[in-house]
Chains A and B, each alone.
Chain A
Amino acid sequence: AQTVTQSQPEMSVQEAETVTLSCTYDTSESDYYLFWYKQPPSRQMILVIRQEAYKQQNATENRFSVNFQKAAKSFSLKISDSQLGDAAMYFCAYRSADFGNEKLTFGTGTRLTIIP
């Protein structure tokens, strides 16, 4: 079974600064997807960024980028130019690439606070 570990229950960053959230995972599969989701107090899960394991290039979405280290099974999220609206819980998630095995496995989350 796959597991996802987020070792930072809480993080804080000054507005406009950069912060990195850590995630490690364990799997015996070679092909899979990794995701970062944001959950504000509204409870709505919002996809921030995704990474296909077969791609060596790290994914980027505007101010969000990842550092994907497949051999180390590490998938960190970097948020640049932090904004007040970035304050939320952030969850790392894993999904197999096998058809019919679409369920997501989540970490326990990191609460990100933005300091004005």
Chain B
Amino acid sequence: GAGVSQSPSNKVTEKGKDVELRCDPISGHTALYWYRQRLGQGLEFLIYFQGNSAPDKSGLPSDRFSAERTGESVSTLTIQRTQQEDSAVYLCASSLVVSGWSSYNEQFFGPGTRLTVL
């Protein structure tokens, strides 16, 4: 079946502009995650959606960052008033999480969106 897809693949924007990054998870996956990967670094957790529960926003670095998810489908990560330090690869992942039971649930990653802020 289809994997996690992200668009656009690359995005170049000017400082101060808003950007929207899109993630299409694997069909049926209840959980969706956003991570940020700065150049030469590991992935940093940003936000986590699980079903109808309130999202875990504990990783968002500032109030310029927000994310939405429609049901158990598409998610959009929005960065307002972009800064040069926002330049990074933004990776999305999805997994199937059975409510009330935490077992191993593999996260499947998309190819990421490379954001460059000039």
Residue count of chain B within 8 Å CB distance of chain A: 30
Contact across chains for A43 and B89 when beta carbons are under 8 A apart: yes
Interface SS of A by simple majority? loop
- The answer, among B33, B43, B106, B114, for a CB contact under 8 Å with A91, is B43
Residue B65 interfacial (CB < 8 Å): no
**Residue numbers in B under 8 Å from A107 (CB-CB):** 42
With A44-B111, A107-B42: A50-B104 Cβ-Cβ less than 8 Å: yes
Give, as a whole number of angstroms, the nearest-CB distance from A114 to chain B: 20
Whole-angstrom CA separation of A6 from B22 in the bound complex: 31
Size category of the A interface is 20 to 34
Give, as a whole number of angstroms, the nearest-CB distance from A6 to chain B: 8
- B12-20, B72-80, B94-102: which lies at the A interface? B94-102
Give, as a whole number of angstroms, the nearest-CB distance from B51 to chain A: 10
A residues near B, CB below 8 A? 4, 6, 33, 42-45, 47, 50, 52, 91, 93, 97-109
Closest 8 CB pairs of A and B: A99-B102, A106-B42, A45-B109, A103-B45, A106-B43, A43-B112, A108-B42, A107-B42
